[in-house]
Amino acid sequence: MIEFACGIPTLLKGDYSDQVSTGIDVFSFREPLGVVAGITPFNFPVMVPLWMAPMAIATGNAFILKPSERDPSASMLLAKLWKQAGLPDGVFQVLHGDKETVDGLLTHPDVDGISFVGSTPIAQYVHETATKHGKRVQALGGAKNHAIIMPDADLDNAADHLAAAAFGSAGERCMAISVAVAVGDAAELLVKKVEERALAVKVKNGTEPDAEMGPVITPASKERIVRIVTEAEAAGAAMVVDGRDLVVPAMKKASGSAPP
């Protein structure tokens, strides 16, 4: 993204055409918005801000980053790197806080644009509030991804990718697969293959190099996951792999939950 932003000036040139009609000339020119803000989620605390800030700055704007309060340190590292690269003070700023801070950005008259990535309900709130205050807004909400596995699929390959998509980043990403629909004869064998891969997932402290699944972000998130699994079981779902009571020694104080 940084490399793309460095090349973006070639796309910012104005145009001029004279006499497109009798006595009419047409021209366009670049005009930065001014101050724009990015409100980013906890799950990708470096990648998502880098979707926003480099392009905003390269096109002539100042940028305010409001990171998730759940993992604020990555944003400070980004600010340090911008500073080391020679960016003038004030062009990239970090503003920590919760909903009150977000509301301040959404309504402040000196903030001209908002970019948001997060859950769908909050995306709707951000879009509605910011546009009411005359701001340009891009608001990216959550996704719900499904996979369909046909009878002639390579089931080993499908199972590998289903497990990676379901359990990577502890499932806390919008690209995660939460529903897999196996068609016809694929179903029974696919369930067995996914079960094998789920049981093999290395659930460890997320800082360990060989960890394949670390803890979810908060104890409340774990409780929500356990509740959903429990409700599904009560409704008649067959439990193939149950990770609700898994205890990982290195994560006793964390909010880890195994692949349910």
Active site residues per annotation? 174
* Terminal CA-CA length for the chain: 35
C-alpha to C-alpha distance for 228 and 218, rounded to whole angstroms:
16
Q: At what angle do helices 73-84 and 47-58 cross, to 10 degrees?
A: 40
Q: By three-state DSSP, how is residue 198 classified?
A: helix
CA dihedral 119, 121, 122, 125 (to 10 degrees): 150
* Residue 54 token pair: 């480099």
- Residues 6 or more apart whose CB falls under 8 angstroms from that of 224 comprise none
List CB contacts of 236: < 8 A, sequence separation 6 or more: none
Which of 68, 148, 67, 66 minimizes the C-alpha distance to 108?
A: 66
Q: What is the DSSP letter of 138?
A: E
User: CA 205, CA 253: separation in Å to the nearest integer?
Assistant: 10
For 153, other C-beta atoms within 10 Å of its C-beta total 16
